[in-house]
Amino acid sequence: MIVKYRNLGKWGLKLSEVALGSWVTDLAGTQAEQTALETVNRAFDLGVNFFDCADAYSGGAAERFFGKALAQHARNEFVVSSKVFFPMGPGANDWGLSRKHIIEQLDKTLNNMKLDYIDLYFCHRFDPTTPIEETMQALSDMVAAGKILYYGVSEWSPVQITEALAVVRENHLRPLSVIQPQYNMADRYIEDEIMGICEKNGVGIVPFSPLAQGLLTGKYRKGQPLPAGSRATWQADRQINNLLTDDNLDKVEGLLKVAEGLDIPLSVLALAWILRRKEVSSVITGASKPSQLEANVAASGYTIPDDALAEIERILDYHPFVRRIG
C-alpha cells in the first residue's frame, strides 16, 4: 500500500495525495510522543512525503516535534509546511502578516524545525490590518532568500485570493502557489468560486479537516451517546458538537450505507471523495497512531464508482449559491 503523488497545482513539486498534519498538543516527554514518532516513520514507509504544521500549534511545540521526527530522514525525502498569523507573544507585532512578523516568525519556525528552509509557507488567516502588498512582498522576498520554496494562504476569501494574485502579477513577485482551505462533504464552499480561481491560476489546493472534525468517520450516530474520549467530549471550541445536527447525522447514515456497499470505511470514502477533484493536490489528515494513517492512505488512488458518486450527491443535497440577475 503506497500512496500516489500529484503536482502542487501547475508547479513541479510532487506531494503525496494524503498528507500528515501535526499534533496540536505538546507531546514532549509523553508516551504519545513515541507513538507520534512511530506514525511519522510509518508515513515514510507508505510513501507519504508531505507534513503540515503551524507556528501556533502548542506555541511552537508542534514544529519542534516535527523537527525531531523529520531529522531521522533525508531532506529530499519530505515536504514540510508551516504557517504564520496567530499571536505568538503579547507584543503589538507578535501576530498578523506584517513584514516584521513574517520574517521574525519564519526564523523561529526554521529554528524550531532545525531546517534551512520550509517547502510551503502559509498565511494562516487574512490580516485586515496589513496591506496585501506588504504581505506578498515579504513572502516573495523570503522565496528569493531561499528560506521558503513556495507560499500560499489559508482560509482566505475568493476576493482576497484574487487580490493577492493580482498584486503578485502586477509587481512581478514570486508566485502564490497554494491555498489551504477547509473542504469536506459537509463544507463545500470552495467549489463555488475558489476552485475555479485556483485552476485558472495553477494554484494547488491542500484541504484541511477532510473528515469534518470526525463527523465523517461514522463514530457519531444519531440517537447514540457520544463515544467516550471522542473530540466531542472535550474540545473546548465545540466545533464538532456544532456539526452534530440531525440533518448531518442523517446524511452520515446514508453515507455509511454507501461505504458499506463499497466495502470501505466511511473515512476512506470521505477522503477519496475529496481527491476526486483534480484541483486538489493533497489532503491533510490527522492520525494519532500508525493504523489510522494506514487507513487514510487507503484513499489514495481509490476511484469511487459513478453510481456511488451520484448517490453521495443525492445524500448531501448540496446547492451552490447562485444569484441570478434579470
Enzyme catalytic residues: 57
Matching residue, cell 476569501: 157
**Angstrom distance (rounded) from CA 183 to CA 237:** 19
Cell of 223: 440517537
Residue from 163, 226, 223 nearest 197 by CA = 163
How far are the Cα atoms of 58, 113, 162 from residue 61, in angstroms, in the given order? 5, 10, 33
**Angstrom distance (rounded) from CA 303 to CA 322:** 29
Range list of β-strands (E), 118-245: 118-123, 148-153, 176-179, 204-205
List phi, psi (to 5°) of 232: -65, -15
How far are the Cα atoms of 51, 257, 286, 298 from residue 4, in angstroms, in the given order? 15, 27, 18, 10
How far are the Cα atoms of 250, 305, 306, 314, 318 from residue 310, in angstroms, in the given order? 17, 9, 6, 6, 12
Cell of 287: 492520525
